[in-house]
Amino acid sequence: MRLSRYFLPVLKENPAEAQIVSHRLMLRAGMIKQAAAGIYSWLPLGFKVLRKLENIVHEEQIRAGHIPIQMPILQSADLWRESGRYDDYGQEMLRMKDRHGRDMLYTPTAEELVTDIFRGHVSSYKDLPLTLYQIQWKFRDEIRPRFGVMRGREFYMKDGYNFDLTKEDALHAYNRHLVSYLRTYERMGLQAIPMRADSGPIGGDDTHEFLVLADTGESEVFYDSAVTDIRLGQRDIDYDDKAQCQAIMEEFTSLYARTDETHDEALFQQVPEERRRSARGIEVGQIFYFGTKYSEPMGATVQGPDGKQVPVHMGSHGIGVSRLIGAIIEASHDDKGIIWPEGVTPFHCGIVNLKQGDDEADAACEKIYEALTALGLEPLYDDRNERAGGKFATMDLIGLPWRITVGPRGLKNGVVELTSRRTGESEELSPEAAVTRIAEIYERTA
């Protein structure tokens, strides 16, 4: 993409309404624009990152054997009355009537709707296990929406639902989701720690939240610092292997890590003093096992091996896709702007032409741009007739991990400058070597 043809409405000044770094930088970098309190339009740069995260979530869900569907944003209140949650959910649920006077609601979560799909089409244990998921817009009418996409009213979320014959099978689904989430977050350049949490209005006894440590997190967390040393890495995972998934779950959850709702000071004191930590955390996902909480009242049963009808065991599993963007920025920024991890960057590399209109510089930039594009990479070429300082400031603000700077002086010596956004370190390379280096970096992170 050439910046002269792109829509990137960056702001020089910090918006007064932005209270935290991610909100401030997303507004300044032209990623979002507020449409109403807690509701945002996603502009091209923000939408591009949103789609990158969505694709990673899809890839890891499908790798784990989960099946994507799409459910409607509006639901009938009748389903929620069936489960008993319609009156219990509270004022966060946006309720409305259609033209025929039927009670409707804007989806805050979809346990009832997906259970209705299941009970209408699945009748035998032979069709289990089954996990269906979607990535869809949700709405929760927060009383005080704040912090941009971190605590908005409308948000983009992956929600998945498993259906299993037994509790043992459902707990394997729980472990499978935990493992797939760990891989998902690591691909995004995040360390999200699974912590014992409270189930809230979803219900159930078994639940973990995934939290990214950040000073602006809304949750107080307590943990054993050793948990931050564990990585899933490039392990070969067989998601059908119950023992392997159970072992990984135990590895990541056996050390103390809890949110303030479930914090147990007596247990925490058993952690060696030098490893006890308290901090703030941003929730980016949560998994639940809730057994037959929805299947029993809604009649979601299957015929078991003995011929008897039994309610299925269920769980739900969410990832806040739009919220993740804020979490990544909170965890990865400096005083100049965003620093995107390579796995989620909107563009792989920025190209800055220091002297637009100079024949040699223009030709060299075009050649680099075409070479990167031919390799399947997406460069952002700043071909505007602007001063160099403004171009550098824009690149730093939007946070592309790598920048190639092209100018007449360097070209006289046959070199361009390759700069890391994260470290600020630069090196001079031939244009061809710079392209090769970028390609190698993204091949390693693929």
299 and 427 assigned to the same domain: no
Average pLDDT of span 80-102: 92
Residue 14 pLDDT class (50, 70, 90 cuts): confident
Query: What integer pLDDT is reported at residue 205 of this predicted model?
Result: 57
Per-residue H/E/C for the chain: CEHHHCCCCCCCCCCCCCCCHHHHHHHHCCCEEEEECCEEEECHHHHHHHHHHHHHHHHHHHHCCCEECCCCCEEEHHHHHHHCCCCCCCCCCEEEECCCCCEEEECCCCHHHHHHHHHHHCCEHHHCCEEEEEEEEEECCCCCCECHHHECCEEEEEEEEEEECCHHHHHHHHHHHHHHHHHHHHHCCCCCEEEECCCHHHCCCEEEEEEEECCCCCEEEEEEHHHHHCCCCCCCCCCCCHHHHHHHHHHHHCCCEEECCCCCHHHHCCCCHHHEEEEEEEEEEEEEEEECCCHHHHCCEEECCCCCEEECEEEEEEEEHHHHHHHHHHHCEECCEECCCCCCCCCCEEEEECCCCCHHHHHHHHHHHHHHHHCCCCEEEECCCCCHHHHHHHHHHHCCCEEEEECHHHHHCCCEEEEECCCCCEEEECHHHHHHHHHHHHHHHC
328 and 355 assigned to the same domain: no
254 and 124 assigned to the same domain: yes
Domain with 385, as residue range(s), is 349-445
Query: What integer pLDDT is reported at residue 116 of this predicted model?
Result: 95
Instruction: State yes or no: pLDDT of 147 exceeds 90.
Output: no
Q: Which CATH number is 358's domain given?
A: 3.40.50.800
Q: Is residue 95 part of a domain?
A: yes
Q: Is residue 81 part of a domain?
A: yes
269 and 152 assigned to the same domain: yes
Query: What integer pLDDT is reported at residue 446 of this predicted model?
Result: 67
Phi, psi of 399 (to 5 degrees): 80, 25
Residue with tokens 């600020």: 424
- Each residue's pLDDT tens digit, 193-238: 999 887 555 444 588 999 999 888 888 999 999 999 999 999 999 9
Query: What integer pLDDT is reported at residue 154 of this predicted model?
Result: 95
- Each residue's pLDDT tens digit, 344-362: 999 999 999 999 999 999 9
Number of domains making up the chain: 2
Q: Which CATH number is 9's domain given?
A: 3.30.930.10
Q: Is residue 272 part of a domain?
A: yes
Q: Is residue 216 part of a domain?
A: yes
- Each residue's pLDDT tens digit, 367-385: 999 999 999 999 999 999 9
Average pLDDT of span 100-110: 94
- Each residue's pLDDT tens digit, 274-302: 999 999 999 999 999 999 999 999 999 99
Residue 185 pLDDT class (50, 70, 90 cuts): very high
164 and 24 assigned to the same domain: yes
402 and 254 assigned to the same domain: no
187 and 260 assigned to the same domain: yes
Return the percentage of the chain with pLDDT > 90, whole number.
88
User: pTM for this one?
Assistant: 0.94
- Each residue's pLDDT tens digit, 162-184: 999 999 999 999 999 999 999 99
- Each residue's pLDDT tens digit, 115-146: 999 999 999 999 999 999 999 999 999 888 88
415 and 384 assigned to the same domain: yes
What's the mean per-residue pLDDT of the chain?
94
Q: Is residue 344 part of a domain?
A: no
Query: What is the CA angle 163-165-166, rounded to 5?
Result: 110
Query: What integer pLDDT is reported at residue 202 of this predicted model?
Result: 47
